[in-house]
Amino acid sequence: MTILVCISYVPDTAAKIGVTPEGTGLVLDGVKYILNPYDEFAIEEALQQREKHGGKVIALTVGPESAKEILRTALAMGVDSATIIPSTSLDSFGVAYNIAAYARSIGADLILLGRQSIDHDSFQMASTVGAMLGIPSISVVSKLEIEGATVRAERDIEGGKEILTSSLPIVISVQKGINTPRYPKLPDIMKAKSKPIDTVEPQSVQPRVAMVRYATPQLKRRGIILGDSDADIAEFVRLLHEEAKVI
């Protein structure tokens, strides 16, 4: 089985991100970038599926040169090879297009992703890549079983869970809880440093969405902070009931 695992290089969740005065760009100075947290589950799932079914795992990222860092993490965890498509200018559609083209070129049977990239939180890659390849996709999967060409997956939905069936080839995005990602061992980290990383030139595509403006959110909160006396608690309940009208 040929497994492609797509990983993204994102600002650390604790990073301070600002907006330029005119609101036309982002200020990302000094921001630390990390492997998208969900993608660790995707890498682990790829390795576990390889253990069950044999084959090889290829890790792919579309991003700046510095994103090779997360490909090294994937190599240290145990993927067989790593590829970067160097680009910083593609929109989500363009990233998906390049992922789909690469998946086609290697004949991937299983394409694994994280459920969302924590930079744009757009939850779209699995469906978009699946549609571009004309194959099924299942997003936010918390349990995955593959037997022959049959796929069975579980995912949480509002108020319950769904059990889905499908077939290979398929695109799957995974949710925390599907597995416990392994920690790469020091010797593997060292070995990963010298492994080759393939480069595939990006294909440019017409963007579909323009980011016209950025802004920092305006907090419009009341900020009424009370103590814990009986009178304060009574006031708290009154405010929620009479002023906010939410209880």
Partner 1 sequence: MSTVAVYIEQREGIVKRPSLEALTAARQLSPHVVAVCISAPGDASLLARYGAAEVVTIEHPLLQQYSSQAVAVALAQYVRSAEVTTILIAGTAQGKELAPRLAVLIEAAYIPDCTELDRDEHGKLQAKHPLFAGKVIATMQPLTERTVVTLRPNMFTARAVESSSEPTITQFSPTLSEEDRKVVVEQVVRNEGKLDVLEADIIVSGGRGMKGPENFVLIEQLANVLGAAVGASRAVVDAGWRPHSEQVGQTGKTVSPNLYLACGISGAVQHLAGMSSSKVIAAINKDKDAPIFKVADYGIVGDVFEVIPKLIERIAALKQTGA
Ligand X SMILES: Cc1cc2nc3c(=O)[nH]c(=O)nc-3n(C[C@H](O)[C@H](O)[C@H](O)COP(=O)(O)OP(=O)(O)OC[C@H]3O[C@@H](n4cnc5c(N)ncnc54)[C@H](O)[C@@H]3O)c2cc1C
Q: Which residues contribute to the site for ligand AMP (CB under 6 A)?
A: 6-8, 36, 38-39, 42, 60-63, 92, 95, 113-114, 116-117, 120-125, 173
Per CB under 8 A, contacts with partner 1 among 9-68 are 11, 13-17, 19, 26, 37-38
- With b for 16 or more beta-carbon neighbours within 10 A and e for fewer, the 101-120 pattern comes to bbbeeeebbbbbbbbbbbbe
Q: How far is the CB of 27 from ligand AMP (least distance, A)?
A: 21
The residues binding ligand X (CB under 6 A) are 13, 37
88 binds partner 1 (CB under 8 A): no
Identified binder of partner 1 from the candidate list 123, 182, 188, 197, rule CB under 8 A: 123
The token duo for 188 is 């593997």
Name the residue nearer to ligand AMP (CB basis): 78 or 202.
202
Q: Residue 36 binds which entry of ligand X, partner 1, ligand AMP, none, with Cβ cut-offs from 5 to 8 Å by kind?
A: ligand AMP
The answer for 94, left when phi > 0, alpha when psi is -120 to 50, beta otherwise, is: alpha
127 binds partner 1 (CB under 8 A): yes
Q: How far is the CB of 111 from partner 1 (least distance, A)?
A: 14
Q: What are phi and psi of 185, to 5 degrees?
A: -85, 155
Name the residue nearer to ligand X (CB basis): 17 or 149.
17
Exposure on the CB side of residue 228, measured as CA atoms within 13 A: 0
Spatial neighbors of 170 by CB under 8 A, at least 6 apart, are 110, 111, 130, 135, 136, 137, 138, 151
Pairwise CA distance, residues 129 & 96, whole Å: 5
Q: Residue 39 binds which entry of partner 1, ligand AMP, ligand X, none, with Cβ cut-offs from 5 to 8 Å by kind?
A: ligand AMP
231 binds partner 1 (CB under 8 A): no
Name the residue nearer to partner 1 (CB basis): 88 or 165.
165
Name the residue nearer to ligand AMP (CB basis): 207 or 231.
207
Q: How far is CA 142 from CA 31, 174, 209, in A?
A: 31, 6, 30
Identified binder of partner 1 from the candidate list 2, 55, 124, 188, rule CB under 8 A: 124
The token duo for 193 is 């440093």
Name the residue nearer to ligand AMP (CB basis): 68 or 191.
68
Closest-CB residue for ligand AMP?
A: 114
190 binds partner 1 (CB under 8 A): no
Pairwise CA distance, residues 199 & 42, whole Å: 21
Q: How far is CA 121 from the centre of its chain?
A: 8
